[in-house]
Structure formats: C-alpha cells, structure tokens
Amino acid sequence: QVQLQESGPGLVKPSETLSLTCAVSGSSINGYFWSWVRQPPGKGLEWIGRIHYRGDTKYNPSLKSRVVISIDMSKNQLSLKLTSVTAADTAVYYCAREHTSSSGDWFDPWGQGTLVTVSS
C-alpha cells in the first residue's frame, strides 16, 4: 500500500523559507510525477507544482518565483521549499502521487497533510 508522509516545521517566521519533505513508502518514486497541493484553513485547494522522477518540474505561475520542488531518489522522498513566506502561505500542505494518461492526470494517493503556520 502506497503511503505518503509530509513532515517539517509547523511554524515558520515571515520572510523565511518553508521547507517540507514527503516520504514515500510502498512505491518507488521511479516512474511517476509527484505534486504538492496546499489548503489554507477553511479554504479550497491550490496546486503548487509537480516534479517528475527524472527531475523535470512544473510550477504554478503564481508561486513559481518562490518555489523549488526536488527529489531525493536515495531516500525515496520529495521536498518543497517556499521562500519569503507571509501569513498568506499558512496552510495544510499535501503531497500526492500523480498518475498520467491520455485522458488526464490525477492525484492518488495523498499524504495526510501537515499544517504550516507563518507567524512571528
């Protein structure tokens, strides 16, 4: 059974860098795209970006200047870095495995999510 587990600091100061990791078990990172999605408290879902196991990335243009997603094949995990954070970046952050086909891409499974609060 594939499981994803996000981890990282739950509190980040404004202007600093948010750093999260997503540990993947039950599946190799090989062969898939992996995405990050976030959800501010009480609000909807926002796609942050994706990475292919070979390292190709695609980011949401609204966040592109501040986001880096990377993969560590040796640890079977992916990482998210978001720089210059503000209170607007307070959210639950999810990682998800992405499936691709001729009829679209979809996310399954998702990690349980980790809440990151930006506050001084």
Interacting residues toward another protein by CB under 8 A: 35, 37, 44-47, 58, 60-62, 94, 99, 101, 103-113
Cβ neighbours, 10 Å, residue 59: 18
Burial of 36 (0-12, 13-18, 19+ CB in 10 A): buried
For another protein, the closer CB: 15 or 25: 25
Nearest distance, CB of residue 1 and another protein, angstroms: 12
For another protein, the closer CB: 37 or 51: 37
The set of residues, in sequence order, having a beta carbon less than 8 Å from that of 24 and lying 6+ positions away, is 2, 3, 4, 34, 76, 77, 78, 97
For another protein, the closer CB: 65 or 108: 108
Nearest distance, CB of residue 13 and another protein, angstroms: 26
Nearest distance, CB of residue 108 and another protein, angstroms: 4
Nearest distance, CB of residue 104 and another protein, angstroms: 4
For another protein, the closer CB: 12 or 49: 49
Q: Is 89 helix (H, G, I), strand (E, B) or coil?
A: helix
CB under 8 A, 24+ apart: contacts of 50-54: 50/98, 51/78, 53/29
